[in-house]
Amino acid sequence: MLGRGLKRKLSDYEENMAGLSSAFDSSRNLPYPLKRQLVLNMCLTKLQTYKMLVEPNLHRSVLIANTVRQIQEEMRQESSQQPINVCSGIAPNPHCYPGIDSSAISLHLPSGSSQQESNCCNSWSAEGPIENSLLMVSDDDMSSAISSILKDLDFMEDISPPTSLVPAGDDEPLKSPENTCLKLEDDRQDLKGAECVFGSFEISNSTSYLKDLAIDDIFEDIDTSMYDSDFCSPLLMAPRPPSAATEETLKTFPSCNSSSTNNIPICRTDLSELDHIMEILVGS
Amino acid sequence: MAGVAGGGGGGGGNDFQWCFSQVKGAIDEDVAEADIISTVEFNYSGDLLATGDKGGRVVIFQREQENKSRPHSRGEYNVYSTFQSHEPEFDYLKSLEIEEKINKIRWLPQQNAAHFLLSTNDKTIKLWKISERDKRAEGYNLKDEDGRLRDPFRITSLRVPILKPMDLMVEASPRRIFANAHTYHINSISVNSDHETYLSADDLRINLWHLEITDRSFNIVDIKPANMEELTEVITAAEFHPHHCNVFVYSSSKGTIRLCDMRSSALCDRHSKFFEEPEDPSSRSFFSEIISSISDVKFSHSGRYMMTRDYLSVKVWDLNMENRPVETYQVHEYLRSKLCSLYENDCIFDKFECCWNGSDR
Length of chain B measured in residues = 361
B329, B312 Cβ separation under 8 angstroms: no
Query: With contacts defined as CB-CB under 8 Å, which chain A residues touch B284?
Result: none
* pLDDT tops 50 at residue A202: no
Residue B144's pLDDT is what? 79
Reduced DSSP (H G I as helix, E B as strand, rest coil) percent helix, strand, coil of chain A, to 5: 60, 0, 40
| Mean pLDDT, range A19-42, rounded to an integer | 75
Minimum-distance CB partner of A151 among B30, B229, B289: B229
pLDDT in tens, B67-105: 666 666 667 888 899 999 999 988 888 888 888 999 999
Q: Which residues pair with B260 in a beta bridge?
A: B248
Residues on B contacting A at a C-beta cutoff of 8 Å: 1, 29-33, 36, 93-96, 183-185, 203-204, 224, 226-234, 236, 253, 286-287, 289-290, 293, 337-341, 343-347, 349
Query: With contacts defined as CB-CB under 8 Å, which chain B residues touch A14?
Result: none
> To 10 degrees, what angle do helices A166-197 and A130-157 make?
170
* pLDDT tops 70 at residue A163: no
* pLDDT tops 70 at residue A14: no
Residue A6's pLDDT is what? 52
Residue B340: closest CA among chain A residues belongs to which residue? Answer: A21
Confidence of residue B305 (pLDDT cuts 50, 70, 90): very high
* pLDDT tops 70 at residue A125: no
Q: How many CB atoms are located within 10 Å of the residue B294 CB?
A: 24
ipTM, two decimals, is: 0.82
User: Closest approach of chain B CAs to the CA of A17, in angstroms?
Assistant: 6
Residue A153's pLDDT is what? 61
Number of C-alpha atoms within 13 angstroms, CB side, residue A134? 18
* pLDDT tops 70 at residue B173: yes
Q: Of A39-43, A141-145, B182-186, B328-332, give the range with the top mean pLDDT.
A: B182-186
Confidence of residue A133 (pLDDT cuts 50, 70, 90): very low
* pLDDT tops 70 at residue B241: yes
- What would you measure as the largest C-alpha separation in chain A, in angstroms? 61
What are the DSSP calls for A49-114, one per residue?
HHHHSSS--HHHHHHHHHHHHHHHHHHHHHHHHS-B---TTSPP-SS----S--S------TT---
Residue B34: closest CA among chain A residues belongs to which residue? Answer: A5
Number of C-alpha atoms within 13 angstroms, CB side, residue B310? 28
Query: With contacts defined as CB-CB under 8 Å, which chain B residues touch A16?
Result: 341, 344-345
Minimum-distance CB partner of B290 among A2, A67, A153: A67
Q: Do B253 and A114 touch (CB under 8 A)?
A: no
User: Closest approach of chain B CAs to the CA of A29, in angstroms?
Assistant: 15
Confidence of residue B348 (pLDDT cuts 50, 70, 90): confident
Number of C-alpha atoms within 13 angstroms, CB side, residue B304? 5
Per the model's pLDDT, the better-predicted residue between B188 and A88 turns out to be B188
| Mean pLDDT, range B120-140, rounded to an integer | 90
Per the model's pLDDT, the better-predicted residue between A111 and A276 turns out to be A276
What are the DSSP calls for B185-215, one per residue?
---EEEE-TTSSEEEEE-SSEEEEEETTEEE
Minimum-distance CB partner of A21 among B230, B234, B343: B343
* pLDDT tops 70 at residue A217: no
Q: Do B286 and A19 touch (CB under 8 A)?
A: no
By CB neighbour count within 10 A (0-12 exposed, 13-18 middle, 19+ buried), where does B142 fall?
Answer: exposed
| Mean pLDDT, range B288-308, rounded to an integer | 91
* pLDDT tops 90 at residue B338: no
Residue A62: closest CA among chain B residues belongs to which residue? Answer: B232
Q: Do B29 and A63 touch (CB under 8 A)?
A: no
The rounded radius of gyration (Å) of the Cα atoms in chain A is: 20
**Which residues, 6+ apart, have CB-to-CB distance to B192 below 8 Å?**
B198, B199, B240, B245
Distance CA A252, CA A6 (A): 41
User: Closest approach of chain B CAs to the CA of A187, in angstroms?
Assistant: 22
Query: With contacts defined as CB-CB under 8 Å, which chain B residues touch A20?
Result: 344
Between the CA of residue A101 and those of A66, A81, A135, B174, B195, what are the distances in Å?
A: 26, 11, 20, 66, 61
Q: What percentage of residues in chain B have a pLDDT greater than 70?
A: 92
| Mean pLDDT, range B236-256, rounded to an integer | 94
Q: What are phi and psi of B175, to 5 degrees?
A: -100, -30
Termini Cα distance of chain A: 40
